[in-house]
Each structure stands twice: as C-alpha cells, then as structure tokens.
Amino acid sequence: MAKAALGLILFFTALPLLAQKVEGELACRLTKTDFIYDCMIRISRGGLPLPGAAVTVGADMPSMPMAHNVKPVKATPGKTPGEYAAKLDLEMLGEWAVKLRLRGPVNDQLILLYEFDEKGAQPVRRGDRLPRK
Amino acid sequence: MDDYTVSVLTNIGLISFIALSAYLLIIAGEMSFGQQGFFGVGAYTAGVATAMYGVPLPIAAVMAMGAGAAAAFLVGLPTLRLRGLYFAMATLAAAEMLRIVFELIHFQREIDGEPIGPDGTQGFRGIRWVFENGVEPEGFLAMVWGLLFAVVALFLFMERSKLGATLRMLGEDPELARMLGVHVERFKLGVAAAAGALAALGGALYAHHNTYIEPRNFDIMLGVHSLAYALIGGLGTAFGPLLGVLIDIGALEGSRVFHGYRMIVFGGLVAVLLIFRPRGLLDERVVHWLKRRLA
Amino acid sequence: MALLELKNVSRHFGGVRAVDGLDLAIEPGQIFGLIGPNGSGKSTTVNLISGLFPLTAGSIVFQNEDLAKLPTHLRLQTGIARTFQNIRLFGQLTVWQNLWVAQNSPADRAKRGFFARWLGGQSGVREEISQLLEFSGLAHKQDELAANLAFGEQRRLELARALATRPTLIMLDEPAAGMNTEEIGQLRERILKIRTQGTTVLLVEHVMELVMGVTDRIAVLNFGQKIAEGTPAEIQADVAVRKAYLGGDA
C-alpha cells in the first residue's frame, strides 16, 4: 500500500518530466536595417535546456497566416546549451506568430506570439489586454 | 525539396480550399465575404477532436466538414434571402460573429498535465496530431494536395453534369432558372452548405499544419483573399481559383520581389483584372475555347 | 372545357393598372393571338401566367389547377412554357446545354432517377435534343455558347428550349420582333408544326401578317383591358381595335 502510494507520488511529481513539454522563448533586437531582427531563441524540454536541435525559424502574420509569412531561416546554436541564434527579416512591425520547427532530439513545432517594435520583441499576452480595438 | 518550398506548396494547397469554396458560391451567383468563418469552424472542430479527444485526423476532418456544412446552412437560411451587396454584408457579419464566438470559447481539457483546448483570444495551442503521428512535412503536403486533387476532380465531374449547368443557371439568371423548374432557394442552400464543408476541410488541415490557431486567423482578410483568388483566376473552371492562389502566393509571395509592398501590388492586380476581365483570367469564354481546342 | 382560363385577372404596379380585370379562355389545340398597342398589358399577362410576379386579383386556372397557388418553379411541370420578348438565354452555357437544362418535365423526371438526372452523363438525352436542334435549325451550332449566337438563332434557341420542357401550352412573346419576311415565314411554319404536335399556342405579337395568318382566335388588349375578341377576320373589321391601334376616330 505504502509502496503504491510512493509510486503514485513519484509518478505525479515526475509527470512534468514525462510530459516533457517543449517550450521556447525569444529575445530580439532590431538591427540597423529595417525590420531585420537579431534573435536569440531559448528552447527547453521539461524545464531543462535543449541543445542539439536543428531549428528553423519562420513567422506568420496572425490575420493572414497562409499568405503572409516570411521565409524561414535556420538558427545556429549559441554559446550556452539550449540557445540558438537567428536573423529574422520581417516585412513590417507589429505582431507576428514566430514559428519554430524543431528537428533532432525532438520533432515538434512551437508557435510564439511576439510584438515586434523599434527596439525588439515582447511576448504578446492577450489575456492581460483589453479586447482588440 | 527544401522546407520552405514544402511550406509554400502546403499553404497554396490549404488556401485553395477556401478559394474553391468562394468559387462554388460565385458560380451559383452569390458573393460571400464569410467563408473564413466556416474555415474557422473547421479548424476549431478538427483541432478539438484530435488534440482533446484523440480522434484521428481523417475522422476529425469529416467531422469538421459536417460542422462547416451545418454552420453554412444555418447562416444561409436567413442570408440567402438577400441579394448582392446585402448578401455580402450579411455573410461578413456572420463570419465576424463566428470569430467573436471563437474569442469567447474557453474550453480546455487536461492532457498530460497540460490544459489543451481553445482559450479565447489566447488561441488554441498544441494541435499536434501531425507530429505525434510522425507525419513529415512532405507527407502532409501530399495529404493536402491529394485531397485538393480529389476536390478538383469532383468539381470537374460536377461541371460536366446537369447539376453544374444548373449552378451556372442560378448564377446567370435565377428568375429564368426558376421558370425552368429549379427550386432556387433549395439549390442555393445546398450550394452554401457544400461550400461551407469545403472551407471547413481547408480549416481542419490548416489547424494541423500550423498546430496553433486563434480567432484572428479567421478574419476578413482571409475571406477577401479567397474571393479575390476566385475572381482573378477565373470563374470558368475549378482551375481558376487555383490559378489565382498560384499567382498570389506562388508568384508574388513566393518570389518576394515586392517584399512588404506585395499587398499593394496584389490590390492593384485585382482592380485591373476586375476592369478588364470581370470574370477572371480563365473565364467561361476562355474555358469554352480551350475545351473546343482540346476536343 | 378551356385549357387555360383567366378570370378577372388584375396586376397593378403602384397606380398603374398593367392588367385590369382580364378574362380569357384558350381552348386546347388553339393558336390564340394576343395583340394590342405597346404597354397594353400583353407581356404582363404572359408574365402572370408564368409566375414572374403574383396576381393583384383574379384567378388563373390551367388544366383545372389554380396557378396562383403554385410556386413559379412548379409551373413548368404543369406543362406551361414560354419565350421572352427580350431574349433570355444562359449565355455561359452552350446551345446544347441550354436545351438540356430545360428538360425538367414530369416525363423527363420519371425517366431517370434523382442521381442519374443530376449527375449522370448526357448519353440518355442526346436523341431528343438532336431533334430539337434539327427542328430549330441549330444542329451545326450545338457546341457554341448561347451568348455567341446571332439574334435570329437566339430566338430559335429560345423556342427550342420552350419545346424541351414538353409543354401543353407554349407562350411566345413577340417571337417575330426584328425578323425579316423570310424568317417570319419560317417561324410561321414552326408555329403550325408545334400545333400539329398537340401543343396549344398563345402568341403575343405585333407583326400582323403573322398573327392574322396563323391564329384561330385573337384577343385585343388596350390599357390592360380586353377590348375585343374573335376570329382574325372579325378583329380586322372591329372599329374599337382600329381606334386603339391608330388612335383618334379612324
């Protein structure tokens, strides 16, 4: 009985690891050329950095996803494990759905919503905002 | 093929579904600005089915088509009484209503410790059937184009039949069609439902291609583009809308010649074509001439 | 028993009484002429019978069936067909298809099942359509788009289309308008041939040489009302008719 309980507890604490959710975040800076951003991408699995993935970065405009996108580029591994660098050539400022295609240790796709402005990019957290204009 | 080519070709295939859906209504004489709503219904239905309930994608796609047809039928009941511009406005309003409904849906389920499902304006993440089932991008591309070819083949078959001729009767002179024994309202409702199902099928595939959908994906931009593709490509054959998509996404977007100014070029192209070729490049006359040439 | 009976039929457009208390009775097998000056309500009468718009008052009974209660799309099935003063064809469809889509009579419906009718090929109907094309002298144009036909050919196609619905009554709305003498002669032959096939004809026409030569009975309308009815000879002798056509006290 105690064994079973322990097993269950272990199982539940390990769940996040078992699920091994792949997550990503983005830090971008506008270069001197208009709408070209230097971006650092951090990718983790189950909370731990995920190195060694082949990452392709693209971006869609949320209101015209199939017809308005930028040509995906391959990201290069950064200095720290789980970090990848890429140059994003966006067509305009505003909100973009950044699409990360991962291959290698994981085969997955992440969509990150970011607002790109004159400095860099901030994640969009629509729940905190007023409804769209 | 590199990843980019595969993704452009997939996008061309996906958007062709909604372009064909707009085309189907136009040849029956109705200009709908609301097909994006049914595209969204399909995307959400199929996404919920696969990501939340583990339904295989093929079955989910059929469910999406059913939902799209039902939604289009219900929207068609009141709106098909309207004519021309009023119908266009009513369908746009209906699609915007659907989009707002998507914004209000918060319906999630815990799956592997993660809440999965539509979350209002936050969108709907993790529609990962394609990844979980090891479908490679090339495989998905083949799926999209395989279905698209099947749909186009159906269209070509239909256009040879009396059903196809009857749709063109509705488009050209519904009053005369009525005097020749066609129940105009019933036919148009059927056409609207079929067009809704077709758009929904595209939406279902789109959701699984992108793994993430949000209400804004289904706003007026998508509807206007689908109409424009049908009108540019031509109303004489089902290849018309495909040509329209190919011109915009394949040539303009794919080549990136115009970069951020593409929309301006595209808008200009639409305007010029509507003046000089109001029924598109492959209009009825061109198609008829081609058919005689090939026969 | 009349084939078609109009009783006290009226149609008002705002203050305009396009048709006003019209009584007509057409017997089976007749060629019935309907004449009158422009705007006298001839076309409106035909439009009312074919259901283009509802009656303001009165009743139209065709083969014991009250047409006023019958939706427009069902009137073809009772055996009523028509042509139009301003030609109406499906220009995007070929000549052949224009006849094909008109084959909607109960006899045609019974011949083939629902799916065969809507989705089936064109093989089962070729014979009849060929006959119609032959009859109207359009066989060589069968694959042409209707929009590309010459004026006279379009008129003949309209007539063939009306026949494709297997009508009991065919209404021809100014079929001779814009035709030369030779074409009018051919039209006359066709109208007589249609009658020998057992179809009743309602002929609305301005061209007197056609109306007087071909009809059994004529009604004359003026300002939406019937001012005379009789055989061609009686009508030609009628004083009121002359007045209506020539004005004043001719």
Mind listing the pLDDT tens digit for each residue in C7-31?
Answer: 999 999 988 899 999 999 999 999 9
Whether residue C153 sits in one domain with residue C31 = no
Which of C51, C77, C119 comes nearest B163 by C-beta?
A: C119
Give the tokens for residue B179: 């005097």
Substitution target from C70, C90, C163, C169 for chain B, most B beta carbons within 10 A: C90
Query: Are C249 and C43 contacting, i.e. CB atoms less than 8 angstroms apart?
Result: no
**Euclidean distance between CA atoms A55 and A60, whole angstroms:** 16
| Whole-number Å distance between alpha carbons of C177 and A104 | 79
User: Is B7–A97 a contact, with Cβ atoms under 8 angstroms apart?
Assistant: no
Report yes or no on B266 lying in a domain: no
Is residue C135 located within the same domain as residue C248? no
How confident is the prediction for chain C on average, in pLDDT?
Answer: 91
Residue C10 included in any domain: yes
* Segment C45-62, tens digit of pLDDT: 999 999 998 999 999 999
Q: Digits of tens for pLDDT over chain A (133 positions)? A: 566 666 666 555 555 444 578 889 999 999 888 888 999 999 998 889 999 899 999 998 887 777 777 888 899 998 899 999 999 988 888 889 999 999 888 888 999 999 999 888 888 876 544 444 4
Query: Do residues C223 and C172 share a domain?
Result: yes
Chains A and C touch (3+ CB pairs under 8 A): no
CB atoms B165 and C143 under 8 Å? no
Measured between alpha carbons, how far is C209 from C149 in angstroms, rounded to an integer?
26
Q: Which domains does chain A have, with CATH numbers?
A: 23-121 (2.60.40.1930)
B217 touches chain A (CB under 8 A): yes
Residue with tokens 């993440």: B125
Strand partners of residue C229: C219
Residues B172-185 have a mean pLDDT of 94
Beta-strand relationship, C217-222 and C200-204: unpaired
C146-192 pLDDT per residue, tens: 999 999 999 999 999 999 999 999 999 999 988 889 999 999 999 99
pLDDT (0 to 100) of residue A105? 85
Contact: B179, C119; criterion CB under 8 Å: no
Residues C111, C54, single domain; the answer is no
Give the C-alpha separation, C91 to C147, whole Å: 4
CB contacts of A107 in chain B (<8 Å) are: 131, 134
C112 touches B at CB < 8 Å: no
What H or E segment, with its residue span, contains residue A17? helix A2-19
Tell me whether strands A121-123 and C4-13 are parallel, antiparallel or unpaired: unpaired
Which of C115, C149, C166 terminates a domain? The answer is C166
Query: Could you tell me if residue B293 is left (phi over 0), alpha (psi between -120 and 50 degrees) or otherwise beta?
Result: alpha
| pLDDT reading at C249 higher than 70 | no
Range of the domain at B100: 3-219
Percent of chain B with pLDDT over 70: 98
Helix (H) or strand (E) holding C114: helix C114-119
Q: Which helix (H) or strand (E) holds A56?
A: strand A54-60
Residue with tokens 């951090």: A42
B126 part of a folded domain:
yes
Over residues B216-240, the mean pLDDT reads 93
Residue burial C62-82, b: 16+ Cβ < 10 Å; e: rest: bbeeebeebebbebbbbbbbb
Cβ(B220)–Cβ(B58) under 8 Å?
Answer: no
Contact call for A97 and B212, based on CB within 8 A = yes
> Which positions in chain B touch C83 (Cβ < 8 Å)?
none
Among C131, C166, C201, the domain boundary falls at: C166
Structural tokens at position A126? 């629509």
Place of tokens 């929207």: B75
Tell me which of C134, C166, C198 is where a domain ends: C166
Is residue B231 domain-resident?
A: no
- Asked if B2 reaches chain A (Cβ–Cβ under 8 Å), the answer is no
The three-class DSSP label of residue A36 is strand
Closest among C183, C152, C158 to C170, alpha carbons compared: C158
The H or E element containing residue C171 is strand C169-173
Contact B155, B25 (CB under 8 A): no
Q: Please check whether residue A55 is in contact with residue A84, taking contact to mean a CB–CB distance below 8 angstroms.
A: yes
**Residue B163 reports pLDDT greater than 50:** yes
Q: Is there a contact between B180 and C100 if contact means CB atoms under 8 Å apart?
A: no
- Structural domain contains residue C84: no
Amino acid at C173: D
Written as six digits, the tokens of B192 are: 């609207």
Q: Which residue has the tokens 């085309």?
A: B23
Per residue, the 3-state secondary structure of B166-189, as one string, reads HHHHHHHCHHHHHHCCCCHHHHHH
The SS3 assignment for C31 reads strand
Q: Can you give the residue range of the structural domain that contains C138? A: 89-166
The SS3 of residue C53 is coil
> Is there a single domain that holds both residue C71 and residue C93?
no
Interface test with C, best of B159, B160, B178, B290 (most C CBs within 10 A): B178
Residue of B158, B162, B169 to mutate when probing chain C, most C C-beta within 10 A:
B162
Q: What is the DSSP letter of B249?
A: I
Tell me whether A25 touches chain B (CB under 8 Å).
no
Q: Which two tokens stand for residue B171?
A: 């488009």
The per-residue pLDDT for A10 is: 56
Alpha-carbon span C100 to C123, nearest angstrom: 11
HSE at residue B17, side-chain half, CA atoms within 13 A, is 33
| DSSP category for residue B217 | G
Q: Could B162 and C118 be called an inter-chain contact, meaning their C-beta atoms sit closer than 8 Å?
A: yes
How far is A120 from A122, CA to CA, in rounded Å? 7
Q: Check whether residue C48 and residue C150 sit in a common domain.
A: no
Determine how β-strand C217-222 pairs with β-strand C31-35: parallel
* H helix intervals, chain B: 3-27, 35-47, 53, 57-79, 84-104, 129-132, 137-160, 162-172, 174-179, 184-210, 220-233, 239-245, 254-255, 262-276, 284-294
Which CATH number characterizes residue C58's domain?
Answer: 3.40.50.300
Please check the confidence at residue B264 and state whether its pLDDT lies above 70.
yes
Which residue among B166, B168, B182 places its CB closest to the CB of C92? Answer: B168
Contact across the interface for C73 and B176, Cβ inside 8 Å: no
Copy the structure tokens of residue C91.
Answer: 């220009």
Residues near A87 by beta carbon (within 8 Å), at least 6 away in sequence: A31, A36, A37, A38, A39, A73
Q: Which two tokens stand for residue C119?
A: 């989705």
Residue of C nearest to B185 (CA): C73
Q: Which residues of chain C have a CB within 8 Å of the CB of B162?
A: 100-101, 117-120
Q: How far apart are CA C221 and CA B293, in angstroms?
A: 51
SS3 of A21, please?
coil
Is residue B113 classed exposed, middle or buried when 0-12, 13-18 and 19+ CB atoms within 10 A define those classes? exposed
Q: Considering the domain boundaries, does residue C73 fall inside one?
A: yes
Query: What SS3 class is residue C219?
Result: strand
Is the pLDDT score of C206 beyond 60? yes
Please indicate, yes or no, if residue C98 is contained in any of the structural domains.
yes
Residue A86 tokens read as 């890429």
- Shared domain for C238 and C200, answered yes or no, is yes
- Helix, strand or coil, per DSSP, at residue C140: helix
Q: How many of the other CB atoms lie within 10 Å of CB of C198?
A: 9
pLDDT at residue C217 in the model: 95
Give the per-residue pLDDT at A133: 40
The structural domain count of chain C equals 2
CB–CB of A67 and B216 under 8 A? no
- The closest of A110, A115, A111 to A125, measured between CA atoms, is A115
Candidates B172, B176, B180, B183: best to mutate against C (most CBs of C within 10 A) is B180
Task: Give the ipTM of the model, two decimals please.
Answer: 0.91
Chain B positions in Cβ-Cβ contact with residue A56 (cut-off 8 Å): 3
Measure CB to CB from residue C90 to each of B162, B163, B169 and give the nearest one: B169
- Looking at the domain assignment, is residue C175 inside a domain? yes
Q: How many domains does chain B have?
A: 1
Interface touch A67/B249, C-beta < 8 Å:
yes
Say whether C50 and B285 touch across the interface (CB within 8 A). Answer: no
- Asked if residue C173 and residue C52 are part of one domain, the reply reads yes
Chains contacting chain C through 3 or more C-beta pairs under 8 A:
B
Q: Does residue A68 belong to the interface with chain B, where contact is any CB pair within 8 Å?
A: yes
- Residues of chain B above pLDDT 90, percent: 77
d(CA A16, nearest CA chain B) in Å: 7
C56 with C178, same domain?
A: yes
Give yes or no: residues C68 and C113 share one domain: no
Answer whether residue B43 is part of any domain: yes
Report whether pLDDT(B251) > 80.
Answer: no
Question: How many Å lie between the alpha carbon of B278 and the closest alpha carbon of chain C?
Answer: 14
Q: Which of C93, C104, C119 is facing B161, going by the closest CB pair? A: C119
The one-letter amino acid at C87: I
For residues C23 and C136, membership in a common domain is answered with no
Q: Is-contact B96 B38, C-beta < 8 A?
A: no
CA distance B273 to chain C (A): 19
Interface test with A, best of B135, B209, B217 (most A CBs within 10 A): B217
Same domain, yes or no: C152 and C198: no
